[in-house]
Chain A
Amino acid sequence: NAGVMQNPRHLVRRRGQEARLRCSPMKGHSHVYWYRQLPEEGLKFMVYLQKENIIDESGMPKERFSAEFPKEGPSILRIQQVVRGDSAAYFCASFLGDEQYFGPGTRLTVT
């Protein structure tokens, strides 16, 4: 859905660098989900955030990954010291009622 914005659309990082992925939910939405899609697989839930709060991070790897959704500005998914296994498409979504609206995704490639 064009209302959820993600940038960058493509990101290339060398092993050991940091990756920052940004997501702006639809106007008026204050909840964001992050999902990761590995090649040839379905999406896996990572984290659910409200403004200034992490509600559910049960899908986040314990190390190197963090997420925030500040009072002002987009939600940020941060991956420190990236490894090749982090190469994937990362999608964020916001929701209204039961239906989630997905952004176009950020495709991270770690070389």
Chain B
Amino acid sequence: SQQGEEDPQALSIQEGENATMNCSYKTSINNLQWYRQNSGRGLVHLILIRSNEREKHSGRLRVTLDTSKKSSSLLITASRAADTASYFCAAGGTSYGKLTFGQGTILTVHP
């Protein structure tokens, strides 16, 4: 079954505002990862949070994980036009690292 369902599907904000994206998954995980993809390009790894962690920060990124609700959120603070991209969560559920991706959130940051 598909894990990593995300909402919203699309998010449009002004530069300087915060952007929050949510992800839900269905089964047990070892970790939850977030990736960014610019249009027509490859994936860039943003942050990984392990199943025994609740919150993690990296620069302007803040990720939370609630394993009881099987959900995660990605917060981008003080957004910039360069943050415009698609953002995907990916659930890591096996020992060898197989990832199950969500459908993604398309973020547009207007200058």
- Where the two chains meet, the residues of A that have a C-beta atom closer than 8 Å to any C-beta of B are 1, 31, 33, 35, 41-45, 48, 55-56, 91, 95, 98-105, 107
Contacts and interface: CB of A to CB of B under 8 A. Distances in A.
Interface of B: 4, 30-31, 33, 35, 40-43, 45, 48, 50, 88, 90, 92, 96-104
Nearest to B45: A99
Given A45-B100, A91-B43, 16 more contacts: A42-B88, A42-B103, A42-B104, A43-B88, A44-B101, A45-B98, A48-B96, A98-B92, A99-B33, A99-B48, A100-B97, A102-B35, A102-B42, A102-B43, A104-B41, A105-B41
Mostly, the A contact residues are: strand
A56 B94 CA distance: 11
Contacts, number: 58
Q: Which of A31, A33, A99 has the most CB of B within 10 A?
A: A99
Contacts of A103: 42
